[in-house]
Amino acid sequence: MPPNITPQATQRPVLRRFNLVRCVAICCLALIVLVGLVVLITWLAIRPRKLDYTLENGSLQNFNLNNNRHLNATFDFVLVAYNPNSRTSVYYDFMESEVSYKDQTLAFGSTDPFFQPHRDTTRVESRLVATNLALSPSTYKDLRREKSSGEIKVDVHFRSRVRFKVGLWKSKHRTLKITCPSATIHLSWSKHFENVPCDAEL
Ligand SMILES: *[C@@H]1O[C@H](CO)[C@@H](O)[C@H](O)[C@H]1NC(C)=O
Ligand SMILES: *[C@@H]1O[C@H](CO)[C@@H](O)[C@H](O)[C@H]1NC(C)=O
């Protein structure tokens, strides 16, 4: 006959160990929930909201196309940057701009670095110059046709290196790409520029 071991005698230490494990597990869980809550509350408080960009003015001067398919032009754009965040401010450490027409880049420009505080709207003016730029035959043809029609449709791109600041903390540099598609530039001064909402990609 096997020795009669009472089940209670073996179960008691196991039970005690089990209770300890359960207690540690509950404590760990409580801690995780607490840390999660703190992170969530901090996140909600400083929650970064999308920066917003609109192209608010565009004009073209010294526009000249010669018969050798070369272009001279000076573009002026006003990009309005809105930072809706109540705690996050933005350093624009570098910004360049580019205007393109049907896949051909017409002109480049750059803008001075600037700092944008929270809940702020900044107007960024940029001038892009094309000097004796050689055009492809099809671009030349289309551009000449649009010139005689009095308005030119271009895409405007901005590229910037930005850093975010929350309190004393500053983020690393990130590349921000802003695209303002199908901006119509009127060659006659009397026509009003229609605002273009831009897409931003971080
Ligand atoms: C747009 O730019 C042109 C040329 O710089 C300027 O004459 C015009 O007043 C501007 N319009 C607005 C609404 O800012
Ligand atoms: C552009 O301007 C330069 C001088 O700045 C001139 O030599 C050239 O012929 C011009 N090109 C066109 C297409 O007008």
State the maximum Cα–Cα separation within the chain, in Å, rounded to a whole number: 114
Q: Does 96 contact ligand 1 (Cβ within 6 A)?
A: no
**pLDDT value for 47:** 67
Q: Does 76 contact ligand 1 (Cβ within 6 A)?
A: yes
**pLDDT value for 11:** 60
Residue 113 DSSP label: -
CA distance 128 to 138: 22
CA distance 127 to 125: 7
**pLDDT value for 16:** 78
CB 124 within 8 A of CB 76: no
The answer to whether residues 108 and 162 belong to one domain is yes
Provide the residue range defining the domain that includes 29.
Answer: 1-46
The answer to whether residues 8 and 100 belong to one domain is no
pLDDT, tens only, 52-99: 999 999 999 999 999 999 999 999 999 999 999 988 999 999 999 999
Question: Scanning the structure block, which residue is given the tokens 């494990």?
Answer: 21
Domain tally, the chain: 2
The answer to whether residues 11 and 75 belong to one domain is no
How much distance in Å is there from the Cα of 146 to the middle of ligand 2? Answer: 20
The answer to whether residues 91 and 188 belong to one domain is yes
In this predicted structure, the answer to whether residue 155 has a pLDDT above a threshold of 60 is yes
pLDDT, tens only, 99-116: 999 989 999 999 999 999
The answer to whether residues 145 and 160 belong to one domain is yes
Structure tokens at 46: 């400083």
Q: pTM of the full predicted structure?
A: 0.79
Q: Which ligand is nearest to the CA of 67?
A: 2
The answer to whether residues 87 and 2 belong to one domain is no
The answer to whether residues 68 and 7 belong to one domain is no
